[in-house]
Homo-oligomer: A and B are copies of this chain.
Amino acid sequence: MPELSPISVAFLVFPNVTQLDLTGPAQVLSRLGNTTVDLLWKTKAPVPTDAGFSLLPTKTFADIESADILCVPGGFGTMDVIQDEEALGWVRKAGAEASWVTSVCTGSIVLGAAGLLKGYRATTHWASHEQLEFFGAAPVKQRVVSDRNRVTGGGVTAGIGFGLALAAKIRGEDHAKFIQLSIEYDPQPPFDSGSPAKADAVAPERYWGLMNKSAPGRAAKVKAIAKGLGF
């Protein structure tokens, strides 16, 4: 392997994160070569995820100011993060210094709340798409959206394609294709129900029902938080 420039990746991790939003791109980006991957939170205590196990931060906000790649994953825990001045303050500062300011799923709502998507095109999980507008971003319905140094991925599993797209920008297409082969990313989903356009008509409604959330209620709350933050 030719000598590669060092790349640091910092993922925000927080209670009730959708862990695959983080672990998917972490698998891809850890194969950039000459790379360090860190998981950041307030303390190094285990952080509970949405999937029954915890993730362990490798560093705290006090340990690290930024990284070449900042990546914010999503999940229902983002509602607390966008009301948490300590977390938002770290994201704001790290984002100002990072070469790449990125997110997967509703992590883009956190980037938005930190003021990092004002005037940028971006994407997020389909169920929260319109909320990007509350923070001055322009929502685009694509699995990966790049706008200058902002690269955002759609919901959960979109983080894998997001990681490959970012890998190509940083190390070239050839290296990204090699990572794709190494993780055997040749998807053949057993069903074709991965977007609201493909799922049956009641599916989005059922999604909110099963998650025990109200879509309009949630959007209104995020809007009010955005307003409180000065958007």
A residues with CB within 8 A of B: 1, 9, 18-20, 23-24, 26-27, 30, 33, 35-39, 46, 50-56, 58, 105, 125-126, 143-144, 154-158, 160-161, 164-165, 168, 173, 176-178, 180-196, 198-199, 203-204, 206-207, 209-211
Contacts and interface: CB of A to CB of B under 8 A. Distances in A.
Listed residue (A1, A58, A177, A203) with the most chain B CB atoms within 10 angstroms of its CB = A177
Q: Which 8 residue pairs across A and B have the least CB separation, nearest first? A: A155-B184, A186-B194, A37-B52, A177-B193, A23-B23, A187-B187, A20-B27, A156-B183
A90 to B, nearest CB: 18
Listed residue (A35, A51, A186, A194) with the most chain B CB atoms within 10 angstroms of its CB = A186
A182 B207 contact: yes
B143 A188 contact: yes
B39 A187 contact: no
B56 A30 contact: no
Given A23-B20, A210-B1, A53 B51 contact: no
B144 A190 contact: yes
Listed residue (A23, A37, A176, A198) with the most chain B CB atoms within 10 angstroms of its CB = A23
A161 B188 CA distance: 7
Given A182-B207, A185-B157, A24 B20 contact: yes
